[in-house]
Amino acid sequence: MSASLDWILPALASPIVYTLVTLGDKRVLSVLRLNLGSFYLFVGSIQLTIALFIFLILGWQSAPFGSIAASYGAGFLWGAGLMLMFFVLQREEVSRVTPVWQSSPVFVAILAALFLGESLDWQGWLAVMLVVSGAVAVSVDTARSGLDAFKVRPTFFLLIAGAVIIAVAQMLLKIGADDLDVWRNMAFRGIGLFTSLAAPWARPPYPAQLLKWVRKPNNAIFLFASEAVGPFLGNMFLLMAIAIGPVSLVSALFGTRPIWVLLMTVLLGLVARQLVTEQLSGRDLAIKAIATGAVVSGVVLIALQ
């Protein structure tokens, strides 16, 4: 396997896994209706549990305090960004939330150039812009006419704020990866994420409401698969890619999630309509097919770097 494929494959695997997670998030919050506080508590607690298991099995890793702090800080910021995303996801269609949320590669590329000394040639910058512009185009609302199709909703600004926060978090993960292996980087990130996402909700009535909700076997199985197994695999692939690849390009491939969300939404709409909460018209598909082409072109350019 070539050196480039060593990071490209996990960088693509992560958004594919997170596509399933995103669709699961939407179902848990909008269909199965677990309240946000209990949801935050579960998601963050799972990350803490995984971190503790990693340290229990592999032990502590000696590393500079700055690297540990960077990894922990990445998790803390990631948790804050996720709270913004989940808040909007409960209220908006998943195919419109994900593109804006995944605009973080632009901010990562700028920050990496400024602070990590990563430099992109014109082909790299074109690739990043193609990926992000294609992803944002997925959110065009064809139900509106003219410029109204591009009308900015108030939730857009929350998602942009979340994207900037996630960009900084990815930068910190890259800094942590200089001295931490993939597993300890994941563990310290998980502790940080628990601190911001779950700890504020570890108080009545949220634990009791969570326990009541998971007493239904179908709820428990779906929540565990979507919010425990999925994020574990997605995080593992992302951290593997960040550890060996340039963070600006890894982030660009991570930003292809809107395309996978679109494809999965279409597929589920054909074979399991009860699992999706939105329907796409032919006009939607045409516009989003063009957006897909832009993203695929960006991915090809990245692969040729």
- For the record, the structure tokens of 223 come out as 């929540």
Grouping H, G, I as helix, E, B as strand and the rest as coil, residue 202 is coil
| Share of residues in the chain with pLDDT > 90 (%) | 43
pTM of model > 0.85: no
Q: Is the dihedral of CA 305, 185, 82, 77 positive or negative?
A: negative
pLDDT tens digits for range 43-54:
999 999 999 999
CA nearest neighbour of 16 among 174, 173, 236: 236
Query: Does position 2 have pLDDT exceeding 70, yes or no?
Result: no
User: Where are the chain's structural domains?
Assistant: 3-303
CB 258, CB 135: distance < 8 Å: yes
User: Which H/E stretch holds residue 215?
Assistant: none
pLDDT tens digits for range 79-111:
999 999 999 988 877 777 777 777 777 788 778
CA nearest neighbour of 212 among 47, 23, 35, 89: 35
User: Which H/E stretch holds residue 41?
Assistant: helix 36-58
What pLDDT shows up at residue 111? 80
> Does residue 205 have a cis peptide bond before it, meaning omega lies within 30 degrees of 0?
yes
- Counting Cα atoms < 13 Å in the Cβ hemisphere of 151 gives 10
Residue 255 has phi, psi (to 5 degrees) of -75, 0
CA nearest neighbour of 259 among 223, 298, 301, 302: 298
CB 11, CB 244: distance < 8 Å: no
List C-alpha distances in Å: 71 to 76, 168, 205, 295: 9, 11, 31, 29
- The DSSP annotation for 121-166 comes to -HHHHHHHHHHHHHHHHTT--TTS-GGGGGPPPHHHHHHHHHHHHH
CA nearest neighbour of 170 among 69, 283, 257, 70: 70
Q: Dihedral (C-alpha) 188, 191, 192, 198: value to the nearest 10 degrees?
A: 160
Query: Does position 278 have pLDDT exceeding 60, yes or no?
Result: no
Residue, of 221 and 119, whose pLDDT is higher:
221
Residue, of 36 and 151, whose pLDDT is higher:
36
Q: State the average pLDDT for the chain.
A: 84
- Please work out, in degrees rounded to the nearest 5, the angle formed at the alpha carbon of residue 304 by the alpha carbons of 302 and 305: 70
